Amino acid sequence: MTNPTSITVPDGVPFIDMVREFDAPRAEVYRAYTEPALVTQWLGPHGYAMTITEYDVRSGGSWAFSHLDPDGNSWGFHGTFHSVDPNESIVQTFEFEGMPGHVSLESVRFEDLDGRTRVVAHAAYQSVEARDAMAAGGMEKGVREGYERLDALLAVTT
Amino acid sequence: MTNPTSITVPDGVPFIDMVREFDAPRAEVYRAYTEPALVTQWLGPHGYAMTITEYDVRSGGSWAFSHLDPDGNSWGFHGTFHSVDPNESIVQTFEFEGMPGHVSLESVRFEDLDGRTRVVAHAAYQSVEARDAMAAGGMEKGVREGYERLDALLAVTT
């Protein structure tokens, strides 16, 4: 049975909130979020390939990657890591190069549930309109499928 | 006559918006925002001293500084530069170490008004409550006084 994914797009405020539990220890979930060779195996929708060009997971580091969809289109994303507290939380900026100039501030917190893990993510956008555009752009499907892929990865790494 | 400073703290959304014009060319205003030896001369309220420990103004760079108030208290701030487009715009993260864990995403745009300059700043917070706390904390006075100090600096550098 797949753990449910909660995605909230609240009216009138520029946020997207996501909560998802994983049947794996927190250190393993954190590792899957931060080691490039693991990230590329799950982040993004089914059928996408991922190339990471930079993933310097430390406070003040930068990151950049591209998704390649099944039709051969490439989608770039990049940002900075504002703060990284290993196994606890990450705060980073996020820019989708398909919407250049629109930046969001994303935080993810890893909660230890006695051997299982709850991931709590909060994204803040510069406008409600930019949030709406991101929510309308297939983000939700990509997130749910990515978490399913992460379940599968954690089943073999833990 | 001092140019007016517009500071907007809109109800219900986690933003602070500021608009200020300066009687100086855009390149000079941009320089005053980005060269540490100039920044320390104006950023912050009257009577404060400022020490910059890092100010790497490029996309992916980091920054950190401290304000020292007239009573000898030190206030630290730090973040990353998500994107820097020289003379045009800067997008950066911002964390006041007096409210650790609360991060905002700040953008500033420099508009050329035919030899004068309009600065348009937009800050997005992770919650309306964090925005309210920042707005209640004397931010407005510090901003207005900082811009007055910047007027004075630009009068001697241009």
Q: Which residues in chain A touch residue B104, judged by CB atoms under 8 angstroms apart?
A: 105
Chain B residues with beta carbon closer than 8 angstroms to that of A14 = 13-14, 124
Say if the ipTM goes beyond 0.85: yes
Of A12, A80, A124, nearest to B82 by CB-CB distance is A80
Contact (CB, 8 A) for A84 and A67: no
Question: Is it the case that residue B139 has pLDDT exceeding 90?
Answer: no
d(CA A39, CA A44): 9
Task: Tell whether A9 lies on the interface with B, counting CB pairs under 8 A.
Answer: no
Of A12, A13, A82, which has the smallest distance from its Cβ to B93's Cβ?
A: A82
- With residue A133 as reference, give the H or E element that holds it: helix A128-136
> Any CB–CB contact under 8 A between B96 and chain A?
no
B13 — contact with chain A (CB < 8 Å)? yes
Instruction: Give me the CATH number covering residue A32.
Output: 3.30.530.20
Number of domains in chain B: 1
**Tell me, what's the pLDDT at A138?**
79
Cβ separation A105–B83 shorter than 8 A? no
The verdict on A3 touching B (C-beta cutoff 8 Å) is no
Q: Is A122 on the interface with B (CB under 8 A)?
A: yes
pLDDT above 70 covers a percentage of chain B that reads 100
| Spatial separation of the C-alpha atoms in residues B124 and B131, rounded to whole Å | 8
Distance in Å, alpha carbon of A80 to nearest chain B alpha carbon: 6
pTM: 0.96
The predicted structure's pLDDT at residue B157: 83
Residue with tokens 């100086």: B24
Residue-level pLDDT at A157: 83
Q: Which of A41, A48, A69, A70 shows the shortest CA–CA distance to A150?
A: A41
Q: What tokens does B94 get?
A: 């911002």
The one-character DSSP state at B107 is E
Identity of the amino acid at A129? E
How far is A108 from chain B, CA to nearest CA, in Å? 12
For residue A85, the model assigns a pLDDT of: 98
- Residue A101 DSSP code: T
Query: CB of A91 within 8 Å of any CB in chain B?
Result: yes
pLDDT at B133 over 90: yes
Task: Determine the structural domain holding residue A84 and report its residue range.
Answer: 5-157
Distance CA A152, CA A114 (A): 20
Decide if A103 and B105 are in contact by the 8 Å CB cutoff: yes
Classify A5 as helix, strand or coil. Answer: strand
Please check whether residue A110 is in contact with residue A91, taking contact to mean a CB–CB distance below 8 angstroms: no
| Bridge partners (DSSP) listed for residue A6 | A19
Confidence bin at B36 (pLDDT 50/70/90) = very high
Q: Does A126 touch chain B (CB under 8 A)?
A: yes
B104 contacts A103? CB cut-off 8 A: no
- Which residues of chain B have a CB within 8 Å of the CB of A13? 12-14, 128
DSSP classification of residue A114: B
- Looking at this protein, which amino acid is placed at residue A137? G
- Select the residue of A13, A93, A107 nearest B82 (Cβ to Cβ): A93
**pLDDT < 70: residue spans in chain A:** none
Q: Rounded distance, CA A143 to CA B153, Å?
A: 49
Q: How far apart are the first and last CA of chain A?
A: 18
Contact indicator for B5, B147 with CB cutoff of 8 Å: yes
The answer to whether residue B154 scores a pLDDT higher than 80 is yes
